[in-house]
Amino acid sequence: MNAQIIMDGLIAGSMIGLGAVGITLTYSILRFANFAHGDMISWAAYFALAISTALGTLVPGLSQPLGPFSFGWSLPVGLLTAIICTGLLALLVDWLLFARLRQRGGAVIILVMAGFGAALTLRSFLEFVFTSKPAYFTNALQIARPLFAGAHATPDQLLGLGIAVVLVVLVHLALTRTPAGRAMRAVSENQALAGLAGVNVAKTIRVAWVFGAGLAAVAGVMAGLLVQIRPHMGHDLLLPLFAAAILGGIGSVPGAMIAGLIIGLAEAFCVQFIGAEWRAAVSFIVLVAILLLWPQGLFGKKTT
């Protein structure tokens, strides 16, 4: 077995996992599949690109690569700004669209269709402003370094993998050890009872949007750094994101991350042994297989 396949799979899987954590959080609390999540990933990457480019232009020293990495301080600042801006964007979309439909008791299918509409609008707006031409956070070249058993990875890739693991642990701790996390879990199970227990459901839903958007922002910046930035980058990730969220079990943060890694590994093996053109089919096959054979996923609750 080629260790490089595993390394490639883990790196791709960490990005998928982070996005899937956002999907699983919003899905379990808002109770609908938000197809605009992928476009939040794209918007986050462009937010970070705009800020880091502006900072790099104003203060050229901020673009100087940090240690072994390909980027300077302008990118971490851009990431933090992107997390805030994407959170605000998610709240804006919710206020303009989803909250109004929830208040009217809109059926799930209406929310899903509204999500499709929001996704198209967000994507088109990005294409209009930035065009479809790929963009990059940095032009610096990185040499992959040997790690183990012939596997190589760049410092940026290892950083992305590390950030994904740390973030998943932090989100898991936040959900299980903090009042806000308890409130989110309670709202995801029973909104009326959560209200009776004193939980402000509307506020908790807003927190869930910001959490999900923040994770989308990190996934977007990682994807932009490790691959490239395009208006369709988030949309192209949707299928693997949903496959990972469902494989992990809706509502399970560790499950989404582990499933993301599994999907990433499956894609890497597919590219190596079947062909790169079949890569996208892997997520689809995994998704269909789980829904047919194991609908509650790896760590999800069985529904009666």
Residues that bind other proteins (CB under 8 A): 179, 182-183, 185-186, 189-190, 192-201, 251, 301
Q: Residue 290 CB, nearest distance to other proteins (Å)?
A: 20
Report yes or no: 240 and 219 within 8 Å, Cβ to Cβ: no
Q: Residue 204 CB, nearest distance to other proteins (Å)?
A: 9
* CB neighbour list of residue 300: distance below 8 Å, 6 or more residues apart: 248, 249, 250, 251, 252, 255
**Residue nearer to other proteins on the CB measure, 26 or 63:** 26
Q: Residue 203 CB, nearest distance to other proteins (Å)?
A: 9
Q: Residue 33 CB, nearest distance to other proteins (Å)?
A: 20
**Residue nearer to other proteins on the CB measure, 132 or 302:** 302
**Cα-to-chain-centroid distance, residue 219:** 5
Q: Residue 198 CB, nearest distance to other proteins (Å)?
A: 4
- Residue 69 backbone dihedrals phi, psi, to 5 degrees: -85, 165
**Residue nearer to other proteins on the CB measure, 67 or 179:** 179
**Residue nearer to other proteins on the CB measure, 76 or 195:** 195
Q: How many CB atoms lie within 10 A of CB 60?
A: 11
Query: Quick one: tokens of 177?
Result: 């050890």
**Residue nearer to other proteins on the CB measure, 202 or 274:** 202
**Residue nearer to other proteins on the CB measure, 234 or 300:** 300
How does DSSP classify residue 301?
Answer: P
Q: Residue 245 CB, nearest distance to other proteins (Å)?
A: 17
Total residues found in the chain within this entry:
304
Q: Nearest 10 degrees: CA dihedral of 257, 259, 262, 267?
A: -100
DSSP 42-105: HHHHHHHHHHHHHHHHHSGGGGS--TTSS--THHHHHHHHHHHHHHHHHHHHIIIIIHHHHHTT
